[in-house]
Amino acid sequence: MSDEFDASSPDADLFEEVVGVRRAPRAAPSETSEGAQELGTRSATPLEELRREEGAVLRIPEGAVVDVGDVDVERPTDETMIINMGPQHPSTHGVLRLMLELDGETVLRTKPVIGYLHTGMEKTAEELTYVQGATNVTRMDYLSPLNNELVFSLATEALLGIDVPTRATWIRMLFSELQRISSHLMWMATNGMDLGSTSMMIYGFREREMILALFEKTTGLRMNHDYIRPGGVAADLPDGWEDDVEIICDTVLRRTYEYDELLTGQPIFRERMVGVGSITADEAIALSVTGPILRSTGVSWDLRRSMPYLEYGQLDFDVIVGTYGDNFDRYAIRLNEIRESIKLVRQIAQRVPPGDYRAQDRKVTPPPRARIDESMEALIHHFKIFTEGFRVPEGEVYVAIESPRGEIGCYLVSDGTSKPYRLHIRGPSFVNLQAVPTLMRGGLIADAVAIISSVDPVMGEVDR
Amino acid sequence: MSPAWLVAAHAQLATLLALTTHGDPLYSRGVGWFVWVVVLIKVVVAFAVLLVSVMLMIWFERKLISDMQSRIGPNRAGPWGLLQTLADGTKLFFKEDLLPAQADRTVFHLAPYLSLVPALLIFTVVPVGGIVTISGHPFELQVADPTIGILVVLAMSSIAVYGVMLAGWSSGSKYPLLGSVRASAQMISYEAALGITTVTVVIVTGSLSTRAIVESQASAFWDWNLIRLGIVPFLLFLTAITAELTRPPFDLTEAEQELVGGFHTEYSSIRFAMFFLAEFMNVITMSGVVVTLFLGGPDGPVPHLPTFDVWFPSVWFVGKVFCFLFLYVWLRAALPRLRYDQLMTLGWKYLIPLSLGWLLAVAGFLVDGWWGAGIAAVALCLAGLLARAFSIGKRRGEHDPLLEPAGARVQRPSLLRLASLTPDRGEGDAPGGGGTGEVG
């Protein structure tokens, strides 16, 4: 099962004693390609590292001034068991790997190991034109692809210095909020599943399906839409979209109250959530955590409100904050954010103005298909945009928006060509994941699952 | 003439039969060929019915939970997907039977049988119907009716723990080991409550025989132990048996989300199927045991029509068992899973003291009304003391500063600076005002 096993270590003796079988010797962690990723024995781990694995907040002073007395280096290895959770584990949300040191069922140390879904998307982006770029970034956070596209498009547009038509902006907001609902529904589903409530799993998917149907109707795809592009959106809203949105809002809002009955007031559910995985505001800020985890500690930090982008400044909505910073607060925040997003979607749907859905800039926006047959110029523009792409002025920019998981940022450097010199996505899942050892302090294995779930990592975005 | 050893063996077997089946009128006239045929038929029929009902139970669970979760469920194999279980079983049978390199061979192979056989044996002592007479030979509709009937149930359910425990231990792997540690702790803790509530039934009946327990409740439904003992022992027994069966919300031993598959993670092919079979068989037999102990078994009004008195009590029995099967599926659809420490707390701190107190009160009332009232009063006082002790213990455990509101902790400058960046912070109607308060 686990590869971290070293037959020469005291663990091997324990294993032999408990299981009665001597295991074949394996390569020591240092000899494998995994190297320092392994959760080592206490004596072999540097103090700062040990402290961090025990849930210390990762800050330079804390690591540097670590007091020897604070860290139990001498703890005998035959009292505890190091166990691998993931990357092939049913509830590590993809390919997250956690190495846990257990004392019975209690988790003493935690180390998230990532990189199992690394596909080099940021590097790939340097080989793709800005036209193709949205197709690439949309695959990062695959549960809210439209937000990835949005942040990339906003960054590109900032460098280009073009204005996007008002209708496109409102469509972007509409879809961003619908995406938030669908992502949080997905979270409700998987969180229910992780706590053993299988019905919630299906219910979450059921409601999400309606939103995906609207996306499919508009963009042609259920995920990885490449719908929000530099210069606007790919297509106008389909006929009758108001009705679809209205049905989605009504149904999902009604269903959120059913979730209250199924989970929120459920005594077992509360027992499992309240007080589990607590984090303070200080710790959360020190760990750069954003999104529902930060808001659960009482910090009202939501980029839609704190640093408004698009037209969020015109809309009326509440930023949901928690008090205790525990799993239940994060659950309540996400559930209520679904309701807030429904409120926003209703406001947006009423205010989407008529007009163009993409910028009328022929250097950026490809011409309609019909124009190609009658205009030589249109044909040339079409050809240039889809082969070379459009050139973006030199410069660098950082744009951040509020994704369902927190602050998703796009750092874009252009050297004046049609391809980015450097693209970096600040993935909220990636940053939030480093809070896992802190959240895990004193938890049990069952809590570990609930805590991973409440961090809501999307590994595509973590590994990029 | 038969050889002497055959006669001796026959005599010994007859004695054994008479001992294990004391109440059955079948043996009252000695053991002849007719008795052997009846016993054989009873065994074969019980075995077949149990296997078929397990198959149907798995289908029923999948179909019902699908309905509850707005899904369709199995609908391909056979009409309404009825043969799905058969198809799955066949598939599993032809799968490769993997043996982990670190496994203890013998124990690994033995464990599934230790799970399956007790499940089958428990069913033998469950009375499924009344007394039937065929060609002047009356006999009971249950495979065996030993004097120690209910002890057989308890013993077998204890042996089944070994199956789970050894399966996890012998797999030579960490997750199954954790699963089996959980399983043994859980089943042993809940067996205490199970045993005590069973004793409550036994002292009222005055017999350990399942048939006697059923007959003592036969007169009317208010004589069912469910009502006669007050509802509490029934609820305690039901909770304990759900934990004993490791059904949701007590399915920690095979918690997929935590322990992958728990004790049977390393099992594949037919050995996995045996665990699966044993689990569902246990659900059915234990439902039968609940019905026997608390709901009068096959007892119920029988219409005065020809042959109805023969088969109609069995309909009552099946109907009552079915209610519990529905309940188990319903629980699975509705409840999240408990955590290990919460499970232990529930078992040791609530179920065991409550069942013990109730047992003493029932025993007291059996002696005399005043004795009963006195013991009930004492039990109440002790319960108050216990509750006080729990609350003190809980408060001591809550010194964790992490459990205090985040806002009550000292805010460092970093946080304050960020707060001042946030435009809405400090206003009267801060956006978070609605916050989580709406949810409760």
Domain ranges of chain A: 10-113, 121-426
Q: Is A435 on the interface with B (CB under 8 A)?
A: no
Give the residue from A11, A19, A81 with the most B CB atoms within 10 Å of its CB, the best one to mutate.
Answer: A19
Mark yes or no for CB contact B335/A266 under 8 Å.
yes
Burial class (CB in 10 A: 0-12, 13-18, 19+), A258: exposed
Cα angle value B186/B353/B179 (rounded, 5°): 5
Give the residue from A260, A279, A299 with the most B CB atoms within 10 Å of its CB, the best one to mutate.
Answer: A299
Kindly state the tokens that stand for A45: 């781990």
Angle of helix B269-294 versus helix B231-244 axis, rounded to 10: 170
In terms of Cα–Cα distance, which of B119, B198, B194, B109 is closest to B160?
B119
Q: How far is A145 from chain B (nearest CA, A)?
A: 26
- Cβ-contact A395, A414 below 8 angstroms: yes
Per-residue pLDDT tens over the stretch B7-22 = 777 777 666 655 555 5
**Rounded Cα gap, residues A192 and B333, in angstroms:** 11
CB within 8 Å of A330: residues ≥ 6 apart: A277, A292, A293, A296, A322, A454
| A272, A323, A449 ranked by CB distance to B406: nearest | A323
Percent of chain A exceeding pLDDT 90 equals 32
Q: Is A60 on the interface with B (CB under 8 A)?
A: no
CB atoms within 10 A of CB B418: 18
Q: Is A271 on the interface with B (CB under 8 A)?
A: yes
Q: How far is B181 from chain A (nearest CA, A)?
A: 9
Q: How far is B215 from chain A (nearest CA, A)?
A: 38
In terms of Cα–Cα distance, which of B141, B155, B156, B201 is closest to B21?
B141
At residue A408, the 3 state secondary structure works out as strand
Q: Is A101 on the interface with B (CB under 8 A)?
A: no
Mark yes or no for CB contact B249/A196 under 8 Å.
yes
Per-residue pLDDT tens over the stretch B89-129 = 889 889 888 888 888 888 888 888 888 898 888 888 888 87
Scan residues 372-411 of A and list those with Cβ closer than 8 Å to B: none
**Rounded Cα gap, residues B199 and B361, in angstroms:** 12
Q: Which residues of A touch B338 (CB under 8 A)?
A: 268, 271-272
In terms of Cα–Cα distance, which of A392, A412, A410 is closest to A400?
A410
- The ipTM assigned to this model is 0.77
**Rounded Cα gap, residues A195 and A192, in angstroms:** 5
What b/e sequence results for B193-208 when a residue is b if at least 16 CB atoms lie within 10 Å of its CB, and e otherwise? Answer: bbbbbbbbbbebbebb
**Rounded Cα gap, residues B294 and B235, in angstroms:** 10
**Rounded Cα gap, residues A373 and A355, in angstroms:** 25
Instruction: Walk along chain A (464 residues) and give the pLDDT tens digit of each residue.
Output: 444 444 455 555 555 555 555 554 554 545 555 556 677 788 877 777 787 787 776 555 555 555 656 667 677 777 888 888 878 877 777 788 888 888 888 888 888 888 888 888 999 999 999 988 889 999 888 899 999 999 999 999 999 988 899 999 999 999 999 999 999 999 999 998 888 888 888 999 999 999 999 999 999 998 888 899 988 898 889 998 999 999 999 999 999 998 988 888 888 888 888 888 888 888 888 888 999 999 998 888 899 888 888 889 888 998 999 888 889 999 999 999 999 999 999 999 999 999 888 888 888 888 888 888 888 988 998 898 888 888 899 999 999 999 999 999 999 999 989 999 999 999 899 999 988 988 888 788 888 888 988 998 898 888 88
Mark yes or no for CB contact B435/A299 under 8 Å.
no
Mark yes or no for CB contact B334/A299 under 8 Å.
no
* DSSP states along A182-216: HHHHHHHHHHHHHTT-HHHHHHHHHHHHHHHHHHH
- Cβ-contact B102, B172 below 8 angstroms: yes
CB within 8 Å of B97: residues ≥ 6 apart: B268, B269, B270, B271
Mark yes or no for CB contact B70/A206 under 8 Å.
yes
A121-426 folds as: Cytochrome-c3 Hydrogenase; chain B (1.10.645)
Per-residue pLDDT tens over the stretch A412-440 = 999 989 999 999 999 899 999 988 988 88
Prediction pTM value: 0.81
Instruction: Walk along chain B (440 residues) and give the pLDDT tens digit of each residue.
Output: 456 777 777 777 666 655 555 567 777 767 777 778 888 888 899 899 988 999 899 999 999 999 988 888 888 888 888 888 889 888 988 988 888 888 888 888 888 888 889 888 888 888 887 777 777 777 777 888 888 888 888 888 888 888 888 888 888 888 888 888 888 888 888 888 889 999 998 888 888 888 888 888 887 777 788 878 888 889 999 999 898 888 888 887 676 666 777 778 888 888 888 888 888 998 999 999 999 888 888 887 888 887 777 788 888 889 999 999 999 999 988 888 888 888 888 888 888 988 988 888 888 888 888 888 888 888 889 889 988 888 888 777 655 544 444 444 444 344 444 444 444 444 434 344 333 433 33
**A288 Rama sector, left if φ>0, alpha if ψ -120 to 50, beta otherwise:** left
Q: Which residues of B touch A445 (CB under 8 A)?
A: 178, 258-259, 340
Q: Closest chain A residue to B177 measured between Cα atoms?
A: A19
| A23, A201, A322 ranked by CB distance to B102: nearest | A23
**Rounded Cα gap, residues B210 and B217, in angstroms:** 11
Helix (H) or strand (E) holding A402: strand A395-403
**Rounded Cα gap, residues A177 and A316, in angstroms:** 13
Give the type of residue at A108.
Answer: L
- Cβ-contact A362, A381 below 8 angstroms: yes
Q: Closest chain A residue to B179 measured between Cα atoms?
A: A105
